[in-house]
């Protein structure tokens, strides 16, 4: 993995979604790979969304999905290797997905007590700073089970692994997060940027008052509008001119032709055909400054609210040929193909909303 200067924000979510007219269903059975026995209590969810369920005593699950799109469905349970599959959901469709999970004996081992381990505490503090982020909302985010994390340092790179999903409460946005950490590597020297990958499930917290609910609605809108993901959605759909984004030297970001895109994606066998056809390629010549100056308008308890939102960021290439690829929902194919600066570099888990979020919800 290549690491770059000035704290780039590198992040991976395995989800895309779009509006739908009818509800779709995914159902299936999860079994133990070694014995074929049904496995109950497995978390089954669409990464990056609030859509999730769990298997019953017979290993069966059902997911009702109101929005079609391309998703990463994740099967996760303590003591077993997690599994993820790409699925494409159309309106009012039904799919059956049966999977088997292999036991992971290492995950079942007793978790070491961390409280008295100074080195671990220092490593965790650094991890949390990079993973949760540096915005004002980071202080309202709590990792409920940090002791599931293990750290290694080698050649000034901090690597983090989690024995089981991280449980995170975000009181700034009103979400409980369940994170299956896939990979985390971040340099500890001179603040160079790093990267991490994860599967994530959101659950909305029930507000204790109308005041708290309104605060969460405002914060969610501030987080989403003008975000990196929102910018990539506008870029993909060629809607930047009609959006509230102002892009300096816009011509320095140019779309690749269909032929160029296909050529650049040759050899990447891990991409499904459906996703490959939906990707759009772009080339960035140099660092580009981007500003967002817009408003969020919504109604709450019969009152109209308007929020002014301003963000200032930059992006630059992090590949030799300066190309990057985006799907229809604002997800980068390669999460480290672009370096981000400014507001986007500081906004990480603390500022993340579900991919099925809509302004005002």
Q: In this structure, is residue 357 part of a structural domain?
A: no
Same domain flag for 296 and 252? yes
Q: What pLDDT is attached to residue 194?
A: 77
Same domain flag for 103 and 229? no
Same domain flag for 263 and 328? yes
Q: Which of 204, 236, 262 is the last residue of a domain?
A: 204
Q: In this structure, is residue 230 part of a structural domain?
A: yes
* Structural domain count, the chain: 3
Q: In this structure, is residue 319 part of a structural domain?
A: yes
Domain span at residue 136?
A: 118-204
Q: What pLDDT is attached to residue 13?
A: 43
Q: In this structure, is residue 334 part of a structural domain?
A: yes
Same domain flag for 222 and 288? yes
Q: Which of 204, 222, 243 is the last residue of a domain?
A: 204
pTM for this model (two decimals): 0.83
Same domain flag for 216 and 346? yes
Q: In this structure, is residue 356 part of a structural domain?
A: no
Q: In this structure, is residue 7 part of a structural domain?
A: no
Same domain flag for 300 and 228? yes
Apex 175 CA angle, 349 and 101, nearest 5: 75
Q: What pLDDT is attached to residue 54?
A: 95
Residue numbers of the chain with a pLDDT score lower than 70: 1-22, 105-116, 190-193, 274
Q: What pLDDT is attached to residue 90?
A: 76
Strands 195-204 and 11-12: parallel
Cα distance between residue 287 and residue 6, in whole Å: 13
Same domain flag for 222 and 345? yes
Q: What pLDDT is attached to residue 192?
A: 60
Q: What pLDDT is attached to residue 116?
A: 58
Q: What pLDDT is attached to residue 16?
A: 39
Rounded alpha-carbon distances, angstroms, from residue 321 to 148, 282, 285? 39, 11, 9
Same domain flag for 318 and 282? yes
Same domain flag for 287 and 332? yes
Same domain flag for 159 and 250? no
HEC secondary structure over the chain: CCCCCCCCCCEECCECCCCCCCCEEEEEEEEECCCCCECCCCEEEECCECCEEECCCCCEEEEEECCCEEEEEEEECCCECCEEEEEEECCCCEEECCEEECECHHHHCCCCCCCCCHHHHHHHHHHHHHHHECCHHHHHEEECCHHHEEEEEECCEEEEEECCCEEEEECCCCEEEEEEEEEEEEECCCCCCCEEEEEEEEEECCCCCHHHHHHHHHHHHHHHCCCHHHHHHHHHCCCHHHCCEEECCHHHEEECCHHHHHHHCCCCCCCCHHHHHHCEEEEECCCEEEEEEEEEEEEECCEEEEEEEEEEEEEEECCCCCEEEECCCCCECCCCCEEEEEHHHHECHHHCCCCCCCCCC
């Amino acid at each position: 993995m290549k690491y770059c200067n000035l704290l780039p924000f590198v992040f991976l979510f395995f989800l895309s979604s779009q509006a739908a007219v009818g509800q779709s269903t995914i159902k299936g059975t999860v079994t133990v790979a070694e014995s074929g026995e049904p496995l109950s209590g497995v978390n089954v969810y669409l990464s990056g969304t609030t859509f999730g369920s769990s298997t019953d005593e017979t290993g069966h699950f059902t997911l009702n999905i109101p929005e079609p799109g391309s998703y990463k469905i994740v099967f996760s349970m303590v003591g077993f290797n997690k599994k993820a599959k790409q699925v494409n959901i159309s309106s009012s469709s039904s799919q059956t997905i049966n999977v088997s999970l292999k036991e992971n004996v290492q995950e079942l081992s007793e978790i070491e007590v961390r409280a008295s381990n100074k080195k671990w505490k220092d490593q965790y503090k650094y991890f949390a700073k990079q993973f949760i982020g540096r915005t004002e909302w980071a202080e309202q985010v709590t990792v409920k089970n940090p002791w599931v994390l293990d750290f290694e340092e080698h050649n000034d790179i901090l690597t983090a692994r989690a024995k089981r999903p991280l449980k995170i409460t975000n009181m700034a946005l009103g979400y409980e997060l369940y994170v299956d950490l896939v990979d985390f590597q971040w340099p500890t020297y001179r603040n160079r940027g790093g990267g991490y990958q994860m599967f994530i499930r959101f659950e909305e917290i029930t507000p204790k008052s109308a005041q708290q609910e309104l605060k969460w609605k405002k914060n969610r809108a501030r987080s989403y509008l003008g975000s990196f993901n929102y910018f990539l959605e506008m870029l993909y759909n060629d809607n930047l001119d009609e959006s509230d984004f102002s892009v300096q030297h816009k011509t320095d970001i140019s779309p690749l032709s269909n032929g160029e895109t296909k050529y650049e994606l040759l050899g990447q066998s891990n991409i499904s055909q459906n996703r490959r056809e939906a990707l759009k390629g772009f080339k960035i010549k140099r660092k580009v400054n981007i500003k967002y100056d817009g408003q969020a308008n919504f109604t709450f308890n019969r009152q109209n609210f308007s929020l002014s939102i301003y963000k200032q960021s930059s992006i630059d290439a992090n590949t030799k040929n300066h190309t990057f690829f985006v799907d229809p929902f604002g997800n980068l194919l390669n999460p480290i193909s672009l370096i981000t600066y400014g507001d986007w570099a500081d906004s990480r888990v603390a500022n993340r909303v579900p991919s099925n979020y809509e302004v005002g919800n």
